[in-house]
Chains A and B, each alone.
Chain A
Amino acid sequence: MTWIADNSLTIFQKFCINVLKSGPIPKHIAFIMDGNRRYAKKHQVEKVDGHSKGFQKLSDCLSWCLELGIKEVTVYAFSIENFKRTNDEVDQLLQLAREKFAKLFEEKDKLMENGVCIRVIGNLTLVPEALRKLIAKAMLMTRNNDKAILNVAFAYTSRDEIVNSLKVINEAVKNGDIVCNDINENLISYCMYTNQSPNPDLLVRTSGEVRLSDFLLWQTANSQICFTKVLWPEFGIWHLLACIFQYQRGCKELQVDASRPFSNIENNNVKTFLHKLDERRLKQLEIYASA
């Protein structure tokens, strides 16, 4: 199973994509890929097979998004809350993640040729060392690619991300890099794990659940949210096109620009601090990669 599936769309599907592309298309979509375990139960297979199907669906979905011209995709792969699952299931999920990230390096040429950038957003201190090393290497390998961006939320919750941002800011205030008055919404956004990405235009959750489950709560302030009943492994091109169609209709009614870039930072102290923060995070990745 590959990270970027070969595009096997029919002529009619491509035609419909072209029709949709003539209207507004989200620049950034976020997915809560829910329903793997219910899929496994429905088809009487092991949970890990359900998760494996889920990864395959991610791969298909990425290729469809590329076809639609959606440059950035964020997916909720593993929540910090998921560590509460049984040891067996957590081990299986982490093992699956290790296999998929290891596979990345086998497909390095394809990824670099397609200009795919992989970023993992989350609290990497909670991730086992072996997996963390693979994640760091994947991020470093692809970090200069800019044709398509995949953000994988792993060991992530929004509250943890917000607290982390505030801690980083607090440290900067204590070090004298910035002052209290420099703290505003924009600065907090720039300190998030997602600081290199515009906010999602559209958030899609599959499987019929109608909550955000601690995912991108800060970043989805203006996003359109689409709940769909289909289980993630059964999410097909027509489901995606239906979400885009709904998004286009929503654009007219809501008239908000979710993915407006963060405001420019004018303050030199803040600019310097953010630059140092990015360098520190890069350095930390290099440490993880060489562990």
Chain B
Amino acid sequence: MSAMTGAPLYRALNVLVHLLFTIYQWLVAWRKQGGVFVGAGHEFDDVEAIRCLEKEIAVQNKIPKHLTVLLGQEEPSYPDLANIVLWSISHRIRFLSFYDYQGVLWKHQHKLAAAISEKIPHKDSVIWHNRRSLPCQENGNGLQKRLKPLAENGKVHVTIHLRIISPQNGRQSIVRLAQDLCQDAQAGEWTIESLDQKLRAEFEFPDPDLGLSCGNFLSLLHYPPWQIRVTEFLSIKTHHRIKYRQFLEQLSIFASCEQRLGR
């Protein structure tokens, strides 16, 4: 049957196959949640799995320096993002960013800050970076001091740098750099290294090692392109009601990724 003569049939089959696949996905998701029989046994499995994962991660000893979470097209869930901050601190991730393509998180930073305060009472644990105020525009010594764990009453508080990234930090930052350099007669030679240095200074964070993407499908949605050269992207489907176990599973997968860097 040629494509032309069978067109309505092919279209109907296409719709049917997609529908069947959607039903299959619902069934798998329903079964994963334990159907209607979520009970104590299920929770015990979680505790056991968490214990194993934590042990595995400790042995692998490879934690991302900069974890970035791509919200995709999801609305931010502030308590869940605050959980990610808390878990990242507990696993000594130094830099954490949330990429919100739609700009909602940027507008409602105060809600995120409030959610974080509820879970992490020690204010100095989280060092915010954003456009309005740049607490890390300090001299080198000041920044170094804040990177070290803070000691108080005999307890050491680990700190994390946190920022919200938007599309403005991406291609537009390369455009701005090009405009600035073109006007600078002293710009010197243009190399990958020299441009990388300048873009790093503006981005403030190191390149992300690990990106957790929300949604059923991965699209970068204008995430800053320069910085994701070797970022490992893992899918968490959704950050809404994300569990600690899921977070650990991603760290464990990341720890087993091997980067050959061309070799």
Chain A interface residues (CB < 8 Å from chain B): 15, 18-23, 79-85, 157-160, 162-163, 166-167, 169-170, 173-174, 180-181, 183-185, 188, 209-214, 217-218, 220-227, 245-246, 248-250, 253-254, 256, 258
Contact = CB atoms under 8 A, between A and B. Distances in A.
A250 B219 CA distance: 9
A210 B256 CA distance: 12
A183 B73 CA distance: 30
A166 B170 CA distance: 15
Nearest to A219: B225
A162 B226 CA distance: 9
Given A18-B6, A18-B10, A254-B73, A183 B175 contact: yes
Contacts, number: 155
Contact of A253 (B6, B217, B220): B217
A285 B132 CA distance: 49
A220 B179 CA distance: 23
A209 B234 CA distance: 10
B221 to A, nearest CB: 7
A180 B234 CA distance: 39
18 contacts: A19-B17, A22-B10, A81-B262, A159-B229, A162-B195, A162-B225, A166-B178, A169-B178, A212-B228, A213-B230, A217-B225, A217-B226, A221-B220, A224-B218, A225-B219, A227-B233, A245-B17, A250-B216
A211 B215 contact: no
B155 interface: no
A159 to B, nearest CB: 5
Given A217-B225, A218-B225, A222-B222, A211 B232 contact: yes
Contacts of B130: none
Contact of A170 (B174, B178, B192): B178
Contacts of B172: 185
Nearest to A258: B219
Contacts of A174: 182
B182 A183 contact: yes
The 5 closest A-B pairs by CB, nearest first: A81-B262, A250-B217, A217-B225, A22-B10, A22-B11
Interface of B: 1, 3, 6-7, 10-11, 13-14, 17-18, 21, 73, 170-172, 174-175, 177-179, 181-183, 187, 190-192, 195-196, 215-223, 225-226, 228-234, 257, 259, 261-263
A81 B261 contact: yes
A170 B7 CA distance: 52
A218 B11 CA distance: 34
Contacts of A81: 261-263
Contacts of A254: 73, 215, 217, 219
Given A180-B182, A185-B172, A248-B18, A256 B10 contact: no
A253 B22 CA distance: 13
B179 A163 contact: no
A184 B175 CA distance: 6
Nearest to A246: B217
A79 to B, nearest CB: 5
B190 A158 contact: no
A223 B223 CA distance: 11
A30 B219 CA distance: 14
Nearest to A181: B179
B262 A85 contact: yes
Given A180-B183, A249-B18, A254-B219, A188 B261 contact: no
